[in-house]
Amino acid sequence: MRGRPDCLVKGYDGRIGELVLPDPDDRHVVSAALHCGADAIATFNLRDFPADVLAPLGVRAVHPDDLVLDLWERFPAAVLRVLDRQPGSLRAPPMSTVDLLGVLEVAGLVRSTMRIREDLGNS
């Protein structure tokens, strides 16, 4: 298994049946967040996680670009460590940190990658 198995949420299905979302196939995401006490979920698909449904549950949906931008503003050294470490695990093709920022930008992290480049002087 790739990744970190200790980051997987298990036993989260208890609340799936009581959740009502625009896409019923997304209920497991909110149920997992509730199960592990998360106050936010990161998703590009904000439309299927409406604030009026999530707020009473104590959860909010956050666009990944907003999440990374917030993390960069609060913990730049930690974000930079991740950005420097991540390319080393990519072998097909190998990437530099600058290359990784380009991939993240294309994936939708436009504002956060622009801000990181500006702050690092790599515009």
Q: Range of 55's domain?
A: 5-62
Residues 11 and 51 in one domain: yes
Which tens digits make up the pLDDT trace of 78-91?
Answer: 999 999 888 777 76
1, pLDDT greater than 50: no
Give the predicted TM-score (pTM) of the model: 0.84
pLDDT score of 4? 57
- SS3 at position 60: strand
Which tens digits make up the pLDDT trace of 13-44?
Answer: 989 999 999 999 999 999 999 999 999 999 99
Structure tokens belonging to residue 55: 């707020």
Cα separation of 38 and 101, whole Å?
27
Residues 71 and 115 in one domain: yes
Residues 77 and 34 in one domain: no
**b/e code 37-46 from CB counts within 10 Å (16+ = b):** ebeebebeee
Q: Name the domain count of the chain.
A: 2
Listed residues 36, 62, 88: the one ending a domain = 62
Residues 30 and 70 in one domain: no
Cα separation of 110 and 96, whole Å?
18
